[in-house]
Amino acid sequence: MSHAVLKPNWPARFALVLASLVALTLAVTVAVTVGEMAIPLPVAFRALGNGLFGLDLPVSAIQQGVIFDYRLSRALMAALCGGALALSGAILQALLRNPLAEPYILGISAGASTGAVCVLILGAGGATLGLSGGAFLGSIATLAIVALLASGTGGGSDRVILAGVAGSQLFNAVTATIVTTLASAEQARGVMFWLLGNFGGVRWPDLWVAAPVALIGFLVCMMHAKALDAFAFGTDAAASLGVAVTRVRLVLLATTALLTATMVAIVGTVGFVGLVIPHAARFLVGSGHARLLPACLVVGAIFMVLADVLSRILVPQQILPIGIVTALFGAPAFAIILYRARRAP
Amino acid sequence: MTLATHEVRWSAGGQMIVDGVTLTVEPNRVLGLIGPNGSGKSSLLRLLCRLRKVASGVVTLDARDIADLPRRELARRLAFVEQQAATEVQLSVCDVVRLGRTPHRGAFASWTEVDEHAVDIALKRVGLAARHDQPWHTLSGGERQRVHIARALAQEPRELILDEPTNHLDIQHQLAILTLVRRLGLTCVVALHDLNLASLFCDRVGVLAGGRLVAFGTPQEVLTPCLIAEVFGVEVVIRESTPGRRHIEYVVEHEAGDHA
């Protein structure tokens, strides 16, 4: 299980990064070619060449539009979303020392939904706040409430989960109340569909928001990889190893909230990714965060891209909400992980 | 010079836990802290490592206020072993010991030969070099405590603080852990419950009661029947088998029918 690398093994690292990129590219390629309108691979590549490198290859305008503006942006958004949620899950599990921690279970997603719904239906904050801003404020508020509730009831990693369950119930109720009492029938249907997660509305401008957030979030997390390792035996152990516990917690919890809120604002709430992917990644690369965090990013991205493909082809003529697909495949996957990683009696 | 406290106070939930403790730790000696449950031993240790902030008074390391020391500098100088630190994370023995290198490495520093050497030496000193790759969860309680000591040694400290390191261990492992701690030759502060172990392994003993330091000195000076009766509320007889080897025997009055 040990990785006794004295000096960094650059060729091996490079090979790993390359393999991850190839796998991700393959997944995106699948996502781009699969769909209602079957588009052959050569046409897809030509469309990508046109869109990405400004070439002028022969592709019909409709196919060009479907491939580049619809499917590629959607696939890349799915990749960002999966990576960001998996990253958030890994960070929360390390900081709270609880294998069940993730944005969805801790209510951060629920809070983000409430914030987004407030903006969407109540018009809170007007044009200045926007959907993402509302989602971010909602998720920060939930995080603060859950943290207060957890520390007020005596701290401990199980308390955090219980507080998270309470927080997510509360915010889901608030969201439901706003939707059922104040939204028009059409608004309500749209919100409900959005709440279960949906990549359908994603266009390129969404990516210009999500990509920098995910990148910065990832870099901030990587800067704290060693500090996260030090949390393995608790906060006192981390502090005695010279980690600035309070600052690291604040920075990383805010980063997690920002990552989750951005993704929820764009695609709605998607559960299970933050929970399952970090465990799967740990299974692949071990518990050291310098390896685990990039692994989460890549595995989460590939998982979400493929989940989105499934959501489009499982039921003909219909697109399932992505949250349903991740739960359908995530829950059994989680059970398998738990079973295989069970401790020797 | 090493660790010292001056009139240190700390309270939690409106209750004074550590109440005006002044003591000086001697370099390269083992100081044992004893006292009944809730006497403030663990809290005082946490104040010594700056895991808690003193409400008043000052903790000094080489005559410098530890509150002014950068965290990582302090962690390179002083290491802490908790009573029973457990984890859900799947780690191997060397993963745990490697954590001790945290204060020596920057955020992006890669693993160096110096780090590897420190880990190997630390594992050798606790006698677990052969367990390098064993999963942490398969270790016994005594082995886990030794791995924690190895992790602390990988920090390359001059001061080592241990909070009841023998708790929950059988007598063989209690003796083994304390023998190990003594042989390290570091400045050690150890919280202990067992008076005989304190008498056997400590150069100096500090007795805490109700958050106050009520006695401080060599085990011979401090661990008297009178003080033990006063602080712990038990009657003892002290025998000396060979000079310097003191045995504290608890006087327990059996009920008449016990041996019938």
User: Would you give per-residue pLDDT tens digits along chain A (345 residues)?
Assistant: 344 445 567 788 888 889 999 999 999 988 988 877 778 888 888 888 888 888 888 888 888 888 888 889 999 999 999 999 999 999 999 988 888 888 888 888 889 888 888 887 877 666 666 777 788 888 888 888 888 887 777 666 677 788 888 888 999 899 889 888 887 888 787 777 777 788 887 888 889 989 999 999 999 999 999 999 999 998 899 999 999 998 998 899 889 988 988 888 888 888 888 988 998 898 889 899 999 999 999 999 999 999 999 988 888 888 888 888 888 877 787 677 667 655 543
In chain B, the number of structural domains is 1
Q: Which residues pair with B32 in a beta bridge?
A: B190, B205
Question: Cα dihedral sign for A225, A227, A230, A234?
Answer: negative
User: Do residue A2 and residue B82 have CB atoms under 8 angstroms apart?
Assistant: no
Q: Within a domain: residue B153?
A: no
Considering CB atoms only, which of B99, B108, B133 is closest to A232?
B99
A310/chain B closest Cα distance in angstroms = 32
The verdict on B13 touching A (C-beta cutoff 8 Å) is no
What pLDDT digit, counting tens, does each position of B174-223 carry?
999 999 999 999 999 999 999 999 999 999 999 999 999 999 999 999 99
The verdict on B139 touching A (C-beta cutoff 8 Å) is no
Q: Are A266 and A206 in contact (CB under 8 A)?
A: yes
CA distance A40 to A34: 9
Residues in A closer than 8 angstroms to B120, CB to CB, are none
B219/chain A closest Cα distance in angstroms = 29
The verdict on A4 touching B (C-beta cutoff 8 Å) is yes
User: Do residue A4 and residue B116 have CB atoms under 8 angstroms apart?
Assistant: yes
CA distance B36 to B232: 6
Considering CB atoms only, which of A4, A97, A242 is closest to B88?
A97
User: Do residue A233 and residue B108 have CB atoms under 8 angstroms apart?
Assistant: no
Residues in A closer than 8 angstroms to B136, CB to CB, are none
B84/chain A closest Cα distance in angstroms = 10
Helix (H) or strand (E) holding A55: none
Residues in A closer than 8 angstroms to B110, CB to CB, are 7-8
- Which structural domain, as residue segments, surrounds residue B26? 3-88+158-259
User: Do residue A2 and residue B133 have CB atoms under 8 angstroms apart?
Assistant: yes
Residues in A closer than 8 angstroms to B160, CB to CB, are none
Burial (CB < 10 A; 0-12, 13-18, 19+), residue A251, is middle
CA distance A331 to A147: 26
Q: Token pair for residue A305?
A: 């891209």
User: Do residue A236 and residue B80 have CB atoms under 8 angstroms apart?
Assistant: yes
CA distance A172 to A188: 14
CB atoms within 10 A of CB A189: 12
B75/chain A closest Cα distance in angstroms = 5
Single-letter amino acid code for the residue at B55: A
> Tell me, what CATH number does B229's domain have?
3.40.50.300
Burial (CB < 10 A; 0-12, 13-18, 19+), residue A326, is buried
- For domain A26-340, say whether CATH 1.10.3470.10 is its number: yes
User: Do residue A236 and residue B105 have CB atoms under 8 angstroms apart?
Assistant: no
A128/chain B closest Cα distance in angstroms = 37
